[in-house]
Amino acid sequence: MIEYRSPLNILVFSLLLAFSAPRAPGQCAGEVSSPAAVADCVARETPREGRAILDPDHPYTLAELIDIAEDHNPGTRVVWERAKQKARELGVAKSAYYPELDGLAVSGDEREINPFPKPLAPRGYVTVEVPVVRPEITLRYLIFDFGKREATVGSARAEELAAGADVIQVNQALAFRVATAYYQLVTAQERLQAAEETLRTAQTTQDAAENRLKNGLATLPDVLNARAETAQAVFDEESANGDEQIARVTLTEAVGADPSPDIVVDSGRSAPLPAKLTMSIEALINRAMEDRPELAAQALRIRSDEARIRAARAEYKPQIVLSGWAAQTSVWPTADYGQLGSASEPTWSVAAGIQWRIFDGGARKNELLIAESKRREAEDELTAIHDQTTREVWTAYISFQTALREHDAAVALLASANSSYSASLEAYQYGVKNLVDVVTAQKELAEARLSSVSAQSQLFLAAVNLEFATGNLLRNQPPATAVQPEGGH
Protein backbone atom coordinates (compact mmCIF):
# COMPACT_ATOMS: atom_id res chain seq x y z
CA MET A 1 0.00 0.00 0.00
CA ILE A 2 1.28 3.46 -0.88
CA GLU A 3 1.85 5.73 2.07
CA TYR A 4 0.29 9.09 1.40
CA ARG A 5 2.16 12.29 2.20
CA SER A 6 -0.34 15.14 2.44
CA PRO A 7 0.55 17.98 0.04
CA LEU A 8 0.58 21.44 1.46
CA ASN A 9 -2.34 22.69 -0.58
CA ILE A 10 -4.69 20.08 0.93
CA LEU A 11 -3.73 21.21 4.41
CA VAL A 12 -4.30 24.79 3.35
CA PHE A 13 -7.68 23.75 2.02
CA SER A 14 -8.72 22.48 5.45
CA LEU A 15 -7.98 25.95 6.81
CA LEU A 16 -10.04 27.48 4.03
CA LEU A 17 -12.95 25.33 5.09
CA ALA A 18 -12.64 26.57 8.64
CA PHE A 19 -12.80 30.25 7.72
CA SER A 20 -14.76 30.15 4.41
CA ALA A 21 -13.56 33.60 3.37
CA PRO A 22 -14.85 34.69 -0.04
CA ARG A 23 -12.13 35.33 -2.59
CA ALA A 24 -11.72 38.42 -4.68
CA PRO A 25 -13.22 38.03 -8.16
CA GLY A 26 -10.65 37.21 -10.80
CA GLN A 27 -7.75 36.68 -8.40
CA CYS A 28 -6.45 33.86 -10.58
CA ALA A 29 -6.79 35.74 -13.86
CA GLY A 30 -3.54 36.63 -15.53
CA GLU A 31 -1.41 36.21 -18.60
CA VAL A 32 -0.46 32.68 -19.65
CA SER A 33 3.27 32.62 -20.28
CA SER A 34 3.33 29.11 -21.73
CA PRO A 35 1.01 26.13 -22.16
CA ALA A 36 3.00 24.33 -19.46
CA ALA A 37 1.73 26.86 -16.91
CA VAL A 38 -1.88 27.10 -18.01
CA ALA A 39 -2.90 29.06 -14.94
CA ASP A 40 -1.30 30.02 -11.66
CA CYS A 41 -4.27 29.37 -9.42
CA VAL A 42 -5.29 27.69 -6.20
CA ALA A 43 -8.47 25.75 -5.41
CA ARG A 44 -11.62 27.83 -5.73
CA GLU A 45 -13.37 29.55 -2.87
CA THR A 46 -17.15 29.74 -2.80
CA PRO A 47 -18.13 30.29 -6.46
CA ARG A 48 -20.71 32.72 -7.71
CA GLU A 49 -23.95 31.25 -8.97
CA GLY A 50 -25.57 31.81 -12.34
CA ARG A 51 -24.34 31.70 -15.90
CA ALA A 52 -21.18 33.48 -16.94
CA ILE A 53 -21.58 36.73 -18.87
CA LEU A 54 -18.89 37.18 -21.51
CA ASP A 55 -17.89 40.47 -23.08
CA PRO A 56 -17.98 39.93 -26.88
CA ASP A 57 -15.42 42.70 -27.38
CA HIS A 58 -12.86 41.53 -24.81
CA PRO A 59 -10.12 39.13 -25.96
CA TYR A 60 -9.98 36.54 -23.18
CA THR A 61 -6.78 34.83 -22.18
CA LEU A 62 -6.74 31.17 -21.22
CA ALA A 63 -6.21 32.01 -17.54
CA GLU A 64 -9.24 34.32 -17.56
CA LEU A 65 -11.41 31.64 -19.14
CA ILE A 66 -10.35 29.07 -16.54
CA ASP A 67 -11.13 31.56 -13.78
CA ILE A 68 -14.61 32.20 -15.22
CA ALA A 69 -15.28 28.48 -15.61
CA GLU A 70 -14.36 27.73 -11.99
CA ASP A 71 -16.71 30.47 -10.83
CA HIS A 72 -19.71 29.30 -12.85
CA ASN A 73 -19.36 25.57 -13.42
CA PRO A 74 -21.96 23.62 -11.37
CA GLY A 75 -19.52 20.76 -10.81
CA THR A 76 -17.19 23.00 -8.78
CA ARG A 77 -20.12 24.19 -6.66
CA VAL A 78 -21.23 20.60 -6.00
CA VAL A 79 -17.80 19.41 -4.89
CA TRP A 80 -17.33 22.53 -2.77
CA GLU A 81 -20.59 21.90 -0.91
CA ARG A 82 -19.55 18.29 -0.31
CA ALA A 83 -16.25 19.49 1.10
CA LYS A 84 -18.05 21.83 3.49
CA GLN A 85 -20.29 18.96 4.57
CA LYS A 86 -17.22 16.86 5.40
CA ALA A 87 -15.86 19.72 7.49
CA ARG A 88 -19.12 19.88 9.45
CA GLU A 89 -19.05 16.08 9.90
CA LEU A 90 -15.63 16.47 11.52
CA GLY A 91 -17.21 18.96 13.94
CA VAL A 92 -19.93 16.43 14.72
CA ALA A 93 -17.33 13.75 15.46
CA LYS A 94 -15.36 16.05 17.78
CA SER A 95 -18.52 16.85 19.75
CA ALA A 96 -18.35 13.34 21.27
CA TYR A 97 -15.52 14.58 23.52
CA TYR A 98 -17.88 17.01 25.26
CA PRO A 99 -20.55 16.17 27.84
CA GLU A 100 -24.22 16.08 26.99
CA LEU A 101 -26.29 18.52 28.99
CA ASP A 102 -30.09 18.38 28.76
CA GLY A 103 -32.74 20.54 30.35
CA LEU A 104 -36.16 19.21 31.33
CA ALA A 105 -39.10 20.89 33.02
CA VAL A 106 -41.91 18.67 34.31
CA SER A 107 -45.26 19.76 35.63
CA GLY A 108 -47.72 17.09 36.65
CA ASP A 109 -50.54 16.09 38.92
CA GLU A 110 -51.05 12.64 40.39
CA ARG A 111 -53.98 11.23 42.40
CA GLU A 112 -53.68 7.99 44.32
CA ILE A 113 -55.35 6.04 47.10
CA ASN A 114 -53.46 5.12 50.25
CA PRO A 115 -55.10 2.47 52.54
CA PHE A 116 -55.23 3.21 56.25
CA PRO A 117 -56.80 1.12 59.04
CA LYS A 118 -59.78 2.44 60.90
CA PRO A 119 -60.16 4.62 62.95
CA LEU A 120 -57.17 6.43 61.27
CA ALA A 121 -59.24 6.68 58.13
CA PRO A 122 -63.01 6.35 58.52
CA ARG A 123 -63.36 4.78 55.05
CA GLY A 124 -60.21 2.67 55.39
CA TYR A 125 -58.27 4.73 52.77
CA VAL A 126 -57.21 8.27 52.00
CA THR A 127 -57.25 9.90 48.59
CA VAL A 128 -54.10 11.96 48.02
CA GLU A 129 -53.50 14.38 45.13
CA VAL A 130 -49.89 15.47 44.50
CA PRO A 131 -49.18 18.36 42.06
CA VAL A 132 -45.47 18.47 41.12
CA VAL A 133 -43.29 21.07 39.37
CA ARG A 134 -39.74 19.89 38.66
CA PRO A 135 -37.16 21.74 36.49
CA GLU A 136 -34.23 19.40 35.94
CA ILE A 137 -30.78 19.40 34.31
CA THR A 138 -29.28 16.08 33.23
CA LEU A 139 -25.58 15.47 32.52
CA ARG A 140 -23.99 12.51 30.72
CA TYR A 141 -20.25 12.39 30.06
CA LEU A 142 -18.36 9.57 28.38
CA ILE A 143 -15.07 9.31 30.26
CA PHE A 144 -13.37 6.46 28.44
CA ASP A 145 -14.29 4.32 25.42
CA PHE A 146 -11.05 2.55 24.42
CA GLY A 147 -10.32 4.87 21.46
CA LYS A 148 -13.67 4.86 19.66
CA ARG A 149 -14.04 8.65 19.65
CA GLU A 150 -10.45 9.14 18.59
CA ALA A 151 -10.91 6.74 15.68
CA THR A 152 -14.17 8.42 14.65
CA VAL A 153 -12.52 11.86 14.63
CA GLY A 154 -9.56 10.49 12.67
CA SER A 155 -11.89 9.03 10.06
CA ALA A 156 -13.79 12.31 9.73
CA ARG A 157 -10.57 14.32 9.45
CA ALA A 158 -9.27 12.04 6.68
CA GLU A 159 -12.59 12.39 4.84
CA GLU A 160 -12.35 16.18 5.13
CA LEU A 161 -8.87 16.21 3.59
CA ALA A 162 -10.02 13.78 0.89
CA ALA A 163 -12.82 16.19 0.05
CA GLY A 164 -10.19 18.91 -0.33
CA ALA A 165 -8.32 16.70 -2.80
CA ASP A 166 -11.60 16.16 -4.67
CA VAL A 167 -11.97 19.93 -5.03
CA ILE A 168 -8.51 20.14 -6.54
CA GLN A 169 -9.23 17.25 -8.88
CA VAL A 170 -12.49 18.75 -10.17
CA ASN A 171 -10.83 22.12 -10.72
CA GLN A 172 -7.92 20.54 -12.56
CA ALA A 173 -10.27 18.53 -14.79
CA LEU A 174 -12.27 21.66 -15.53
CA ALA A 175 -9.11 23.64 -16.31
CA PHE A 176 -8.00 20.88 -18.69
CA ARG A 177 -11.39 20.86 -20.40
CA VAL A 178 -11.30 24.63 -20.89
CA ALA A 179 -7.69 24.52 -22.11
CA THR A 180 -8.58 21.79 -24.61
CA ALA A 181 -11.55 23.78 -25.94
CA TYR A 182 -9.40 26.91 -26.06
CA TYR A 183 -6.67 25.30 -28.15
CA GLN A 184 -9.26 23.63 -30.36
CA LEU A 185 -10.64 27.09 -31.10
CA VAL A 186 -7.14 28.42 -31.77
CA THR A 187 -6.58 25.48 -34.12
CA ALA A 188 -9.87 26.16 -35.90
CA GLN A 189 -8.91 29.82 -36.32
CA GLU A 190 -5.53 28.91 -37.76
CA ARG A 191 -7.15 26.34 -40.04
CA LEU A 192 -9.43 29.09 -41.28
CA GLN A 193 -6.43 31.31 -41.89
CA ALA A 194 -4.69 28.47 -43.73
CA ALA A 195 -7.83 27.94 -45.84
CA GLU A 196 -7.87 31.65 -46.71
CA GLU A 197 -4.19 31.48 -47.72
CA THR A 198 -4.92 28.39 -49.80
CA LEU A 199 -7.76 30.25 -51.52
CA ARG A 200 -5.40 33.10 -52.36
CA THR A 201 -2.89 30.58 -53.69
CA ALA A 202 -5.55 28.93 -55.84
CA GLN A 203 -6.66 32.31 -57.12
CA THR A 204 -3.07 33.14 -58.05
CA THR A 205 -2.78 29.86 -59.94
CA GLN A 206 -6.07 30.56 -61.73
CA ASP A 207 -4.93 34.08 -62.69
CA ALA A 208 -1.70 32.69 -64.09
CA ALA A 209 -3.59 30.12 -66.17
CA GLU A 210 -6.03 32.70 -67.52
CA ASN A 211 -3.17 35.06 -68.44
CA ARG A 212 -1.42 32.29 -70.35
CA LEU A 213 -4.71 31.45 -72.09
CA LYS A 214 -5.07 35.06 -73.24
CA ASN A 215 -1.54 34.90 -74.65
CA GLY A 216 -2.23 31.60 -76.39
CA LEU A 217 0.16 29.66 -74.15
CA ALA A 218 -2.43 27.59 -72.25
CA THR A 219 -5.51 25.59 -73.08
CA LEU A 220 -9.07 26.00 -71.87
CA PRO A 221 -8.93 22.70 -69.88
CA ASP A 222 -6.00 24.17 -67.93
CA VAL A 223 -8.07 27.20 -66.96
CA LEU A 224 -11.07 25.04 -66.06
CA ASN A 225 -8.86 22.87 -63.87
CA ALA A 226 -7.50 25.95 -62.10
CA ARG A 227 -11.02 27.28 -61.57
CA ALA A 228 -12.05 23.94 -60.09
CA GLU A 229 -9.19 24.17 -57.61
CA THR A 230 -10.29 27.68 -56.69
CA ALA A 231 -13.87 26.48 -56.16
CA GLN A 232 -12.57 23.67 -53.93
CA ALA A 233 -10.57 26.22 -51.93
CA VAL A 234 -13.73 28.34 -51.49
CA PHE A 235 -15.56 25.25 -50.22
CA ASP A 236 -12.74 24.44 -47.79
CA GLU A 237 -12.76 28.01 -46.52
CA GLU A 238 -16.49 27.91 -45.80
CA SER A 239 -16.10 24.56 -44.03
CA ALA A 240 -13.24 25.93 -41.92
CA ASN A 241 -15.32 28.98 -41.06
CA GLY A 242 -18.17 26.76 -39.83
CA ASP A 243 -15.76 24.67 -37.75
CA GLU A 244 -14.39 27.85 -36.20
CA GLN A 245 -17.87 29.00 -35.19
CA ILE A 246 -18.65 25.60 -33.66
CA ALA A 247 -15.38 25.72 -31.68
CA ARG A 248 -16.48 29.09 -30.25
CA VAL A 249 -19.77 27.57 -29.10
CA THR A 250 -17.94 24.66 -27.47
CA LEU A 251 -15.62 27.01 -25.59
CA THR A 252 -18.45 29.21 -24.25
CA GLU A 253 -20.21 26.11 -22.97
CA ALA A 254 -17.02 24.89 -21.27
CA VAL A 255 -16.60 28.16 -19.35
CA GLY A 256 -20.20 28.09 -18.07
CA ALA A 257 -21.72 30.70 -20.38
CA ASP A 258 -24.70 30.25 -22.68
CA PRO A 259 -23.41 28.34 -25.74
CA SER A 260 -22.79 30.98 -28.38
CA PRO A 261 -20.13 31.96 -30.93
CA ASP A 262 -19.92 35.42 -29.32
CA ILE A 263 -16.49 35.11 -27.76
CA VAL A 264 -13.09 36.55 -28.62
CA VAL A 265 -9.92 34.89 -27.39
CA ASP A 266 -6.37 36.08 -27.19
CA SER A 267 -4.98 33.24 -29.27
CA GLY A 268 -1.43 34.00 -28.21
CA ARG A 269 0.11 33.39 -31.61
CA SER A 270 3.23 35.14 -30.35
CA ALA A 271 3.48 32.80 -27.34
CA PRO A 272 6.59 30.62 -27.56
CA LEU A 273 6.09 26.97 -28.29
CA PRO A 274 7.21 24.35 -25.77
CA ALA A 275 10.43 22.92 -27.12
CA LYS A 276 11.73 20.39 -24.61
CA LEU A 277 11.11 18.52 -21.37
CA THR A 278 12.64 19.70 -18.11
CA MET A 279 12.12 16.41 -16.26
CA SER A 280 12.82 12.74 -16.90
CA ILE A 281 10.01 10.22 -17.14
CA GLU A 282 10.95 8.89 -13.69
CA ALA A 283 10.69 12.39 -12.21
CA LEU A 284 7.37 12.95 -13.97
CA ILE A 285 5.94 9.72 -12.54
CA ASN A 286 7.19 10.60 -9.05
CA ARG A 287 5.58 14.03 -9.32
CA ALA A 288 2.30 12.45 -10.37
CA MET A 289 2.39 10.05 -7.42
CA GLU A 290 2.83 12.97 -5.05
CA ASP A 291 0.57 15.56 -6.69
CA ARG A 292 -2.29 13.74 -8.38
CA PRO A 293 -5.31 14.68 -6.23
CA GLU A 294 -7.19 11.43 -6.87
CA LEU A 295 -4.24 9.47 -5.46
CA ALA A 296 -4.17 11.73 -2.44
CA ALA A 297 -7.92 11.41 -1.95
CA GLN A 298 -7.83 7.62 -2.20
CA ALA A 299 -4.94 7.32 0.25
CA LEU A 300 -6.86 9.49 2.70
CA ARG A 301 -9.95 7.33 2.30
CA ILE A 302 -7.86 4.29 3.17
CA ARG A 303 -6.79 6.12 6.30
CA SER A 304 -10.44 6.85 7.04
CA ASP A 305 -11.37 3.18 6.58
CA GLU A 306 -8.59 2.12 8.95
CA ALA A 307 -9.96 4.51 11.57
CA ARG A 308 -13.44 3.05 11.08
CA ILE A 309 -12.01 -0.41 11.76
CA ARG A 310 -10.54 0.82 15.04
CA ALA A 311 -13.89 2.35 15.97
CA ALA A 312 -15.70 -0.90 15.14
CA ARG A 313 -13.28 -2.90 17.31
CA ALA A 314 -13.77 -0.46 20.18
CA GLU A 315 -17.47 -1.36 20.18
CA TYR A 316 -16.52 -4.72 21.73
CA LYS A 317 -15.12 -2.97 24.81
CA PRO A 318 -16.93 -1.31 27.71
CA GLN A 319 -17.51 2.39 28.22
CA ILE A 320 -17.07 4.34 31.44
CA VAL A 321 -19.84 6.91 31.81
CA LEU A 322 -20.43 9.63 34.35
CA SER A 323 -24.08 10.63 34.72
CA GLY A 324 -26.09 12.81 37.01
CA TRP A 325 -28.96 15.14 37.40
CA ALA A 326 -29.97 18.08 39.55
CA ALA A 327 -33.50 19.43 40.04
CA GLN A 328 -35.69 21.66 42.15
CA THR A 329 -38.66 19.53 43.19
CA SER A 330 -41.77 21.32 44.38
CA VAL A 331 -44.84 19.41 45.69
CA TRP A 332 -47.96 20.52 47.57
CA PRO A 333 -50.07 17.40 48.22
CA THR A 334 -53.61 17.49 49.52
CA ALA A 335 -55.72 14.70 51.06
CA ASP A 336 -59.42 14.25 51.62
CA TYR A 337 -58.66 13.34 55.21
CA GLY A 338 -55.94 14.79 57.43
CA GLN A 339 -53.28 17.39 56.70
CA LEU A 340 -50.22 17.03 54.40
CA GLY A 341 -47.25 19.41 54.10
CA SER A 342 -45.81 20.96 50.91
CA ALA A 343 -42.10 21.01 49.98
CA SER A 344 -39.72 22.70 47.52
CA GLU A 345 -36.22 21.27 47.83
CA PRO A 346 -33.20 20.75 45.54
CA THR A 347 -32.73 17.12 44.58
CA TRP A 348 -29.83 15.46 42.74
CA SER A 349 -28.16 12.23 41.76
CA VAL A 350 -24.59 11.37 40.64
CA ALA A 351 -23.42 8.00 39.32
CA ALA A 352 -20.39 6.53 37.54
CA GLY A 353 -20.91 3.27 35.73
CA ILE A 354 -19.48 0.83 33.23
CA GLN A 355 -21.64 0.13 30.21
CA TRP A 356 -20.83 -3.04 28.31
CA ARG A 357 -22.91 -4.49 25.54
CA ILE A 358 -22.72 -8.25 25.94
CA PHE A 359 -24.89 -9.48 23.06
CA ASP A 360 -26.22 -7.68 20.00
CA GLY A 361 -27.14 -10.45 17.58
CA GLY A 362 -23.94 -10.05 15.51
CA ALA A 363 -24.32 -6.33 14.73
CA ARG A 364 -20.80 -5.41 15.89
CA LYS A 365 -19.25 -8.36 14.11
CA ASN A 366 -20.84 -7.45 10.80
CA GLU A 367 -19.95 -3.78 11.17
CA LEU A 368 -16.31 -4.76 11.67
CA LEU A 369 -16.36 -7.08 8.66
CA ILE A 370 -17.90 -4.33 6.51
CA ALA A 371 -15.23 -1.84 7.62
CA GLU A 372 -12.43 -4.30 6.82
CA SER A 373 -13.96 -5.05 3.42
CA LYS A 374 -14.18 -1.34 2.59
CA ARG A 375 -10.52 -0.90 3.46
CA ARG A 376 -9.52 -3.75 1.12
CA GLU A 377 -11.73 -2.24 -1.58
CA ALA A 378 -10.08 1.16 -1.15
CA GLU A 379 -6.60 -0.40 -1.30
CA ASP A 380 -7.44 -2.17 -4.56
CA GLU A 381 -8.82 1.07 -5.97
CA LEU A 382 -5.61 2.85 -5.02
CA THR A 383 -3.60 0.22 -6.87
CA ALA A 384 -5.80 0.69 -9.95
CA ILE A 385 -5.44 4.49 -9.78
CA HIS A 386 -1.69 4.09 -9.31
CA ASP A 387 -1.43 1.97 -12.47
CA GLN A 388 -3.71 4.31 -14.39
CA THR A 389 -1.62 7.31 -13.35
CA THR A 390 1.59 5.64 -14.48
CA ARG A 391 0.02 4.77 -17.82
CA GLU A 392 -1.33 8.29 -18.32
CA VAL A 393 2.04 9.89 -17.54
CA TRP A 394 3.80 7.57 -19.95
CA THR A 395 1.19 8.30 -22.62
CA ALA A 396 1.46 12.06 -22.11
CA TYR A 397 5.26 11.84 -22.15
CA ILE A 398 5.32 9.89 -25.42
CA SER A 399 2.65 12.15 -26.94
CA PHE A 400 4.69 15.26 -26.15
CA GLN A 401 7.85 13.77 -27.63
CA THR A 402 5.89 12.74 -30.71
CA ALA A 403 4.30 16.20 -31.01
CA LEU A 404 7.75 17.79 -30.89
CA ARG A 405 9.01 15.63 -33.77
CA GLU A 406 5.79 16.14 -35.75
CA HIS A 407 6.07 19.90 -35.33
CA ASP A 408 9.66 19.94 -36.54
CA ALA A 409 8.70 17.81 -39.52
CA ALA A 410 5.68 20.04 -40.27
CA VAL A 411 7.85 23.18 -40.24
CA ALA A 412 10.28 21.60 -42.69
CA LEU A 413 7.42 20.32 -44.84
CA LEU A 414 5.78 23.74 -45.00
CA ALA A 415 9.02 25.44 -45.98
CA SER A 416 9.67 22.84 -48.66
CA ALA A 417 6.10 22.94 -50.00
CA ASN A 418 6.13 26.74 -50.12
CA SER A 419 9.40 26.76 -52.07
CA SER A 420 8.14 24.02 -54.38
CA TYR A 421 4.94 25.89 -55.18
CA SER A 422 6.74 29.20 -55.79
CA ALA A 423 9.22 27.50 -58.11
CA SER A 424 6.49 25.56 -59.95
CA LEU A 425 4.35 28.68 -60.44
CA GLU A 426 7.32 30.67 -61.72
CA ALA A 427 8.32 27.85 -64.08
CA TYR A 428 4.74 27.57 -65.31
CA GLN A 429 4.60 31.30 -66.02
CA TYR A 430 7.76 30.90 -68.14
CA GLY A 431 6.29 27.86 -69.88
CA VAL A 432 8.75 25.39 -68.43
CA LYS A 433 6.16 23.37 -66.47
CA ASN A 434 2.52 22.55 -67.11
CA LEU A 435 -0.48 23.37 -64.92
CA VAL A 436 -0.67 19.86 -63.50
CA ASP A 437 2.69 20.42 -61.78
CA VAL A 438 1.49 23.74 -60.35
CA VAL A 439 -1.78 22.28 -59.08
CA THR A 440 0.06 19.37 -57.50
CA ALA A 441 2.43 21.75 -55.73
CA GLN A 442 -0.53 23.87 -54.67
CA LYS A 443 -2.27 20.88 -53.06
CA GLU A 444 0.92 19.89 -51.29
CA LEU A 445 1.26 23.43 -49.96
CA ALA A 446 -2.33 23.39 -48.67
CA GLU A 447 -1.74 20.06 -46.92
CA ALA A 448 1.52 21.36 -45.46
CA ARG A 449 -0.25 24.42 -44.06
CA LEU A 450 -2.87 22.27 -42.36
CA SER A 451 -0.19 19.91 -41.06
CA SER A 452 1.69 22.86 -39.59
CA VAL A 453 -1.44 24.16 -37.89
CA SER A 454 -2.31 20.73 -36.49
CA ALA A 455 1.23 20.08 -35.31
CA GLN A 456 1.47 23.40 -33.48
CA SER A 457 -1.90 22.92 -31.80
CA GLN A 458 -1.06 19.34 -30.87
CA LEU A 459 2.17 20.51 -29.28
CA PHE A 460 0.31 22.98 -27.07
CA LEU A 461 -2.26 20.35 -26.12
CA ALA A 462 0.42 17.76 -25.40
CA ALA A 463 2.17 20.19 -23.04
CA VAL A 464 -1.07 20.91 -21.18
CA ASN A 465 -1.92 17.21 -21.04
CA LEU A 466 1.47 16.44 -19.53
CA GLU A 467 0.87 18.95 -16.75
CA PHE A 468 -2.61 17.50 -16.18
CA ALA A 469 -1.34 13.90 -16.11
CA THR A 470 1.27 14.79 -13.47
CA GLY A 471 -1.23 16.74 -11.34
CA ASN A 472 0.55 20.05 -11.92
CA LEU A 473 -2.35 22.09 -13.32
CA LEU A 474 -3.34 25.06 -11.12
CA ARG A 475 -0.21 24.67 -9.01
CA ASN A 476 2.84 26.86 -8.47
CA GLN A 477 5.42 24.21 -9.29
CA PRO A 478 7.96 24.38 -12.12
CA PRO A 479 6.45 23.19 -15.41
CA ALA A 480 7.49 19.94 -17.02
CA THR A 481 8.26 21.65 -20.34
CA ALA A 482 10.35 24.64 -21.41
CA VAL A 483 10.10 27.00 -24.36
CA GLN A 484 12.76 27.57 -26.97
CA PRO A 485 15.21 30.30 -25.86
CA GLU A 486 15.28 33.52 -27.84
CA GLY A 487 17.33 33.04 -30.98
CA GLY A 488 17.43 29.28 -30.45
CA HIS A 489 16.81 26.71 -33.17
When comparing pLDDT for 39 and 444, which is higher? 444
Q: Which of 88, 151, 158 is nearest to 298 (CA)?
A: 158
Furthest C-alpha separation in the chain: 153
Check if the beta carbon of residue 131 is closer than 8 Å to that of residue 332: yes
Check if the beta carbon of residue 163 is closer than 8 Å to that of residue 155: no
Which residue blocks in 339-434 are alpha helix, DSSP H? 363-429
Over the stretch 285-310, which tens digit does the pLDDT of each residue have?
Answer: 999 999 999 999 999 999 999 999 99
Distance CA 185, CA 193 (A): 12
Check if the beta carbon of residue 469 is closer than 8 Å to that of residue 396: yes
**Predicted local distance difference test score (pLDDT) of residue 258:** 86
Distance CA 199, CA 211 (A): 18
The sign of the torsion formed by the CA atoms of 419, 422, 425, 430 equals negative
Does position 326 have pLDDT exceeding 90, yes or no?
Answer: yes
The H-or-E segment that residue 267 falls in is: none
Cα distances (angstroms) measured from residue 72 to each of 45, 69, 168, 175: 12, 5, 16, 13
**Predicted local distance difference test score (pLDDT) of residue 401:** 94
Determine the residue type at 207.
D
Determine the residue type at 135.
P
**Predicted local distance difference test score (pLDDT) of residue 440:** 85
To the nearest whole number, what is the mean pLDDT of the chain?
A: 84
Q: Report the percent of the chain where pLDDT is more than 90.
A: 48
Distance CA 353, CA 359 (A): 18
When comparing pLDDT for 393 and 23, which is higher? 393
Q: Give CA angle at 285 (283, 289), nearest 5°.
A: 115
When comparing pLDDT for 100 and 49, which is higher? 100
Lowest average pLDDT, out of 293-307, 428-442, 455-469, goes to 428-442
Over the stretch 390-433, which tens digit does the pLDDT of each residue have?
Answer: 999 999 999 999 999 999 999 999 999 889 888 988 888 887 77
106 DSSP 8-state letter: E
**Predicted local distance difference test score (pLDDT) of residue 108:** 92
When comparing pLDDT for 20 and 249, which is higher? 249
Full-model pTM: 0.74
Q: Give CA angle at 256 (254, 261), nearest 5°.
A: 65
When comparing pLDDT for 445 and 118, which is higher? 445
Does position 153 have pLDDT exceeding 90, yes or no?
Answer: yes
When comparing pLDDT for 76 and 268, which is higher? 76
Lowest average pLDDT, out of 300-309, 361-370, 467-476, goes to 467-476
**Predicted local distance difference test score (pLDDT) of residue 37:** 42
